[in-house]
Amino acid sequence: MVKLAVRTKTDVMTNFVVPIDFSVDSLKGLEWAILFSKRKNVNIQMVYVLSNSSNFQPSVVELEQKYAEAHFKKLMKEHEPRLGNNSKLRYIIKKGKIYREVVNQVNSYKNAVVSASTHGASGFEELFIGSNALKIMAATEQPVFTVRTVVPEEIRKIVVPIKLHLDTRQKAPMVADIAELFGAELHVVSISTHKNKRDLERLESYSNQVMNYFDTRGLKTTKKNLVGESLPSLTCNYSEAVDADLITIMSSAIDKWNVFLGSYAQQMVKSTPVPLLSITPKEKQIPAGFSTLGG
């Protein structure tokens, strides 16, 4: 029997954990979190991880600590006045491996998301473009936002790719929460590399269930069916064509530490210029209001 998952609106998006290395690019994760503060009360926790200090003298570590403190104070002074809804901006300086400390921080909250740029000055591109990005997604059940290029001023259009996987529908409740928060339009896009009738009928069933769920929430939606050779290309091309502000995907982790999220999630993190939300599926759970039929 499939257990139905019911969640209070936007309860996940209470705490934003933002990895920072003080480069201009790394601040995109902070900008994304501030965007949400304009709509609701959030706690933004910036995280800086000191360089691996095992081979460093204590004086070098102390200098880096002071460097981080000074830069955080500047960020606080600059960005605190921009927050809305009595939101809070905090920071923490940690030691260890970057991806592990980011995961530890987001897991320390009951409800939290990671909000990170995919570029930076001290390895964040390796962190979020290489295997460490997949480790973060696999090691935490909390959602992960990644931003590659420009942070939009608003979230007006959200692309919701629907694939031939049972967990593809699990993104719907959180997506609906974000759409309600920003008054965004939802683009439900079924994507497939298969042309056989059975697969396309099942995909259509999944898409209709998601559409019906959004309709019950009173959200503005549009639907599109796409078939092609590459699922990431189908998603990215459509998102750019409609000028989307966010894409949501499921990051299907098979093993929490022997990471395997599948080529689709991996390629989307690497390639999409549109901000991306990756959600880890909950085993044997689908959103309330969905049929358990469909394969």
My answer on whether 218 and 143 are in the same domain is no
Q: Domain check: are 99 and 217 in the same one?
A: no
- For residue 157, is pLDDT > 60? yes
| 143 in the same domain as 12 | yes
Residues 155/54, Cβ–Cβ less than 8 Å:
no
Query: Does 134 map to a domain?
Result: yes
Is 196 found in the same domain as 121?
Answer: no
Residue 149: band (very low, low, confident or very high) from pLDDT cuts 50, 70, 90: confident
Comparing 176 with 251, the larger pLDDT belongs to 176
Average pLDDT rounded to a whole number, residues 244-248: 98
Q: What is the pLDDT of residue 114?
A: 94
Q: Which of 147, 178, 213 is the last residue of a domain?
A: 147
Place of tokens 């530490």: 257
Do residue 168 and residue 121 come from a single domain? no
On whether residue 255 sits in a domain, the answer given is yes
> Does 293 reside within a domain?
no
The reported pLDDT for the residue numbered 124 is 59
Most confident stretch, 16-25, 27-36, 126-135: 27-36
Higher pLDDT residue, 257 or 153?
153
Last residue of a domain, one of 115, 147, 179: 147
Do 72 and 110 have their domain in common? yes
- Looking at the structure, tell me whether residues 82 and 30 fall in a common domain: yes
Residue 294 lies in a domain: no
Question: What is the mean predicted confidence (pLDDT) over 59-87?
Answer: 95
Distance CA 178, CA 156 (A): 10
* Phi, psi of 20, deg, nearest 5: -135, 135
Cα–Cα dist 12/8, whole Å: 9
pLDDT in tens, 79-129: 999 999 999 999 999 988 888 899 999 999 989 999 988 876 655 555 555
First-to-last alpha carbon distance for the chain, in angstroms, is 14
- Listed in sequence order, the DSSP H helices in 140-294 are 172-182, 197-216, 231-241, 262-271
My answer on whether 132 and 213 are in the same domain is no
Q: For the chain, give the mean pLDDT.
A: 85
pLDDT number for residue 160: 98
Domain residue limits at 193: 157-284
User: Does the residue 2 lie in any domain?
Assistant: no
Rounded CA separation 234/165 (Å): 17
Residue 116: partners with Cβ closer than 8 Å, 6 or more residues away: 18, 19, 26, 29, 102, 124, 127, 128, 144, 145, 146, 147
58 with 182, same domain? no
Predicted pLDDT of residue 258: 42
What's residue 136's pLDDT?
74
Give the CATH number of the domain where residue 111 resides.
Answer: 3.40.50.620
Residue 295 domain-assigned (yes or no): no
Compute CA 259 distance to the chain's CA centroid, rounded to the nearest angstrom.
17
Percent of the chain topping pLDDT 70: 81
> Do 236 and 272 fall within a single domain?
yes
DSSP 144-180: EEEE-SPPPSS--EEEEEE-SSGGGGGGHHHHHHHHH
Judge if 99 and 121 occupy the same domain: yes
pLDDT at 1 over 90: no
Supply the Cα-derived Rg of the chain in whole angstroms: 19
Residues 6+ positions from 26 with CB-CB distance below 8 Å? 19, 20, 116, 117, 119, 120, 121, 124
- DSSP strand pairing (185-192 vs 157-162): parallel
Residue 130 — very low, low, confident or very high, per pLDDT cuts 50/70/90?
Answer: low
Domain count, the chain: 2
Domain boundary residue, one of 95, 117, 147: 147
Q: What is the mean pLDDT of residues 67-71?
A: 96
Identify whether 244 is part of a domain.
Answer: yes
| Inside any domain, residue 12 | yes
E strand intervals along 51-184:
88-95, 112-117, 144-147, 157-162
Residues 119 and 42 in one domain: yes
